[in-house]
Structure 1
Amino acid sequence: MPTVSDYTALLSGQYWGGIETTGKGQIVTYSFPTAAPSYDSSVAGFTAATVSSFQAFNSDEQDQARKALAEWSAASGIVFVEVAPGQGDINFQLVNLSTSSYGSPGGIGFYPFGDWDYLTQPTPTTPSANFRSDLDSSGDVFMNSQYASDGTVNYGTLLHEIGHAIGLKHPTETVYSPFATHDQVLSSDDPTRTIMATVGDTSSNSTPHILQLDMDAAAHIYGAAGSGGVYTDSGSGTLAGTAIAWSWNASTNVMTETGTSADETITGTSLGDVITGNGGNDRLFGLNGNDTLTGGSGNDYIDGGPGADIMTGGAGNDTYYVDNSGDQVIEQPNGGYDFVYARGINYTLPANVDSGQVYGSGLTLTGNADGNTLYGDGSGNTQVYGLGGNDYIVTGSGNDVLDGGTGADGMFGGQGNDTYYVDNTGDYMGEDPNAGTDTVHATISFTLPANFENLILDGTDNINATGNSLANVLTGNAGNNVLDGGGGKDTASFVNATGPVNASLATGVATGFGTDTLQNITNLTGSSYGDTLTGNSAANVLDGGAGNDVLDGGSGADIMYGGLGDDTFYVDNSSDIAVENPNEGTDTVIASVSYSLASSYTDNLTLTGTANINATGNSLANVLTGNAGDNVLNGAGGKDTASFANATGPVNANLTTGVATGFGNDTLQAITNLTGSSYGDTLTGNGAVNVLDGGAGNDVLDGGGGADIMYGGLGDDTFYVDNSSDIAVEYANQGTDTVIASVSYSLASSYVENLTLSGTANINATGNGYNNILTGNAGNNVLNGGTGKDTASFANATGPVNANLSTGIATGFGTDTLQNIACITGSAYGDTLIGNSAANVLTGGAGDDILDGGAGSDSLVGGTGNDTYYVDSPNDFVVEQPGEGTDSVFASVSYSLASSYTENLTLTGTANINATGNGYNNVITGNSGNNVLDGGTGVDTFVFGPGFGHDTLKNFTAGNTSPEHDIIAIDHTILSNFAAVMADAQQIGADTVITIDPSNSITLQNVQKTQLVASNFHFT
């Protein structure tokens, strides 16, 4: 850093009125805020405590500030104008600097454009790193309230900080300026030469004032000494070193600056300035405030600054800078070639402006109805729209959007992935090689120029897309398109389709989103719907996208991407690749060759044809389905399923042996679960936790030792349960299903109907809401039917059973407890089955059974054997079939055998009740009451013992009327021979009455005494 001896050691390079603009007068506003400005909280180094310590300058401190300003103004052409509190370029404030990161200086003053005096700035990589022209704190002076307890501030410190506020630095330090190097320094920090020294003057009788170096520096920047001034009210004048007239109207708060016909630079203030350049090539800067700037004739440069400014260029080729959405640029027709630079905002060119450029990432620039030249940021992601006219658009790097509008437009995107819009056959564009992946949207038939990758047809017209030598992606519209890839390995895309698409490279036709012709196309991309994409003999890439897609690459070595949805891949080449990512749906490969899912997230693999080929899974829970050949189904990792859903007959699959037969002879490796066919399969698990799904058919499912889940499906299925955590799953109306359990088990959570206990352990069976059949084993069981009309069955008993629903106990095959049981089924032996007061169904089965339904309206089914029924309700129903033995009913109520194949009927008790036979040769016995005994058809025998009462026989067939006549079997102690019968018999009307004694008689209805023969009577 060069050492100098003059004022240049004080020049920071940052001044009011511009960077490095020297020797010209400048208006600078100042104020005394009455409250902390909002921007104080964003001042570098300030804390919340610093901001809250704000104090306003009192009247004495304000006078000191005006006095200090006057010294600087007298030494130069700077004009200080006092404005409303907080609206100045320089704002004087008191804060407690000890609460900041600056320590406890007497004060700090910020340079006009934001850099504060204490720190030297490193050289940044770009000017914007440390330099801003719109910082709210620019030029502000903060005096330390710690040193103003007596109501005054240190005058020397005040002069020093104002020096910083107008652009002077410390004499021995360097500062960064974006446009010049300011590294000159004095040999020492000498307070006798400059008020800008960092140490005070300690010589005797020294009074703080600006010194000669300070005066020279101020005059160098702001013009000749004595041409400035300090104004606390309205004023006017001419800026030093210029012919620029200024006037300040304090009542309207308007600063007016007016130039001449010369080329001039006019810089405004923090107020709303009215600046007029008049003639010449002027440079007008509004700075803060909502300014009105008028260039007049000449090629003017107009920058309103941060406010919402009105800028009018007039005649000439004018350049504008806008940075506020409220900025207005006004140009007249034929007013020259005009250019607008927009900083950090989206912008639309106003009428009569020719060109524009935006600065900042992600911005939008829009032209007008004329033919414009439009530039993007050059590095950001810019959107540029030409609208009308023949526009010329250049965006540079970044992922840009270029849309020329209706004219014949030229568009050049540069680096980045750019998007172009074409709607005119005269549109032209350019891209360099390797300059990103670029896309053209066209509403007309279009051929991609060199170095463009993608072409999308918009609208609904029947237009065509043609590629170039690159690997293009051609996307059709809703019309009938010809998609011609040209050279390269090109893709036809249907991502914009509004429904499923069927596209075939083999036929060259795609339907579903218009009817398109595919030429020179190698790859296909589907829509977000369920598409069918078919390749050809080449190595195709098919991408289904979202939706449940069907992808068939054809005979080549193809790559197929399923995307979201439940996709289906057809594989016919061992080099085909089916690609799925995690959580993209449940996907299936259908393969006619051996295939492995190992490198994919595909879920299921189905083998087709009859060849002996193999299926290998991956780490997911795969479903592997074999074909009619001999397959190896290897699940690899995951909990995998071997499926036989395509089998043409019943299958026997066993995970313990690893073999499945019935649809080829398959080998099962790393398989956890089985799915059967639509026939009656036998599926057997192993010691793992298996899931067995029988499907349709009468299946047998045995999960093995693990805690298994077994799904029966349609049909009458049988489940083998050996683990209390096994689950047998059936749904309503899927058949009559049975669980055979060697552990205690409950049907409560299933729609299974029957539960059979196996083995000899003391285990229990619990039903559900269905009418269950619960079958015990040889142990002591609890058979709990749950709700429903449930049956306890002893069909597996090895001897006769005595089961009683009234006591809830069954013995003979273990000692069982019966709970919530309505019905009983016996064994193949002579059982005794007793009901209760409910309507029971008792089924004896084989053997000579005794069935007593109890008080309810019961159904008693005897089965084979000579069965005995006890009936106590006229609604009891006895069921016997022909040839099932000689069966007897004992009834305490009137009863008929008419609807039964039962042979014998005995009335019990003393009530006057009746007995009716059927077509069999019945033996009917009355009780001691007065009975009506009706044998019906057949050769019936009526049995009478002592004290039988007054009985009536109906439908009695006498001996002389039929060789197959009925028989009266009477105890010999009552009557001992036929003669005795005839002696007691008498004809009473149509009936024959045999009177034994006053208490006992037999009336033969409609039988003549003469018709009786000896063979009608047996004496026992």
Structure 2
Amino acid sequence: MTTVSKTTEYPDLISDEYDLNQDNLLNYSEFASDTLLEIVPTITEFTSVASSLIETAGKSLQQIISNDFVDSVKEKELLILPDIESSKLVNTEKIASAISNAKKFDLGQNFGWIGNDLPTSQLSTQPQCCGCSACCGFSSDFNNDSLNQTTTPTNGGLTPQANTGVYYIDALLPTPANYWVGSTISYSFMTSVPSYYPWNYPERNKFVPFNTTQANAARRALQLFSEISGLRFVEVSDAGAGGIIRFGTANLGNNKSAHAYLPDNNPLGGDVWLNNSDSFNDTQTNGSFGFATMVHEIGHALGLKHPGNYNAGGGGSQGPYLPAQEDNNKYTVMSYNRHPGSGIHPQTPMLYDIAAIQALYGANNNTRTGNNTYSWNANQAFIQTIWDAGGNDTISAANQSLAATINLNPGSFSSIGRFSNNSSSRANGNLAIAYRVTMENAIGGAGNDTLIGNSVANNLSGRNGNDYLFGGGGSDTLNGGAGNDVLVGYSGSTEFDVLTGGTGTDTFVLGDTSNVFYRGDGFARITDFDWRYDYIQVRGTSSQYSLQSGNWFGNAALDTAIFFGNDAIGVVQDSTNVSFTRDFIFA
């Protein structure tokens, strides 16, 4: 193998295998899910929040969004909202700093890792495993001479703790974290069992090359990793040394779907094997167990480990681990545990996988830099994470009939489409936006949708249904569309939000029980207030406010400005028919 040299040095880490007999692991039902491979955080569900807010005048926004979220955005200006449901906020700068400061040491041009040196005496020259040696077919002759003959020991060492300081990255990296050096990695499809496999390894049992379906799935999965990282994958002939990553199938025994070898300078390093006695590996459609297995195993071949203490071949996986509530496919395809909010399987590397791969190999800043719209077939099931490097981008649920939750914050989760292709229930948290990704726009569908903006100027369109629109930071444009909608531009002192309710009974929120929004230079422009149906919510009492008519926007009709003291916080466009007693909700 020549293009990128393999690294070495961690003794007890090998491949992974899915256990087909454990009910708490992945569901192995086959689902064909043809979705966009455009690579794409769950928040508290806000279904029917519009009607509840109208029914309970004065309800605090902190009861709808969380206190932690509102306060943190206002006081700390944090840009990432991984999960409103648990009020966990991660600072973008911390992630960027942790990734950029990760130490990488090269031994010439052949080796790379994160960390410092160990004494040479602590080096291992054996293939690395993520569990017991039996998982990769190692038997009593683990130190078989044929292996030692193909291994070139290094003259350096590895740190006993590869730690980026970001818990969800460290939970996916072995200690030390080996990775391939260089930006180009070759791969090939085995035509026979490579000679470096000892006679008693399971890979020699009924070898069969990848079929066309499996080979195309491997290419697709490698492309996904290329889109998120600084890696480029080049297919080569398997003749001779073959590729850095080699693919093959064999009868690996019962209770195993596949395994892969972590990066290593032993020729086994990077090899990916599917169990050809497992029929699940025959189906490689998006959302299937087979394709999720392919992505999972390539993750191992690139240097990722399991995030929990398990391994299908026996034994466990090296720590540190993710918290139990995050050790599932919602956060990482490397987990054995199913996504709690979906009945299918991931079709991309997930939120934490992308962060970990980028910690090792950097990010691909050329992926989808145009103006992209991400949408899915009506009510289909999918699980994926978006990596998008630029442009003015949109997440659309316009063709969905089930209620959608779209959160544009990096590191957050959205809920779009079905739990499974055969279910009428909605998925929960099946779409993630990778850290350091900026999305600008969201479009709802026919259901009672929740659209959450981020720190930049967003355009949120609810369309049909009783929708809840929250602009967040930046000067946002919110359009409720048909239905009884709630529009919250939010409390930026320099924001100029445009709020359009559309048809139905709409509520324009300029304050809650804790805050008067738009203090300072900013204000909300309410474009279509109808005194017969709509309401304006503010904080405090009517004695604190005044209404003043004037021409604010240069139109022929006069407008009504809403003042809190001497501070204009909102303007009702083209109307002077505004009354505190009739039209306002005081929180």
Say whether the fold is shared (TM-score over 0.5).
Answer: no
More strand by share: 1
TM-score by length of structure 1 reads 0.23
TM-score by length of structure 2 reads 0.35
Greater C-alpha radius of gyration: 1
Q: Which has the higher contact order (CA 8 A, sep 6+)?
A: 2
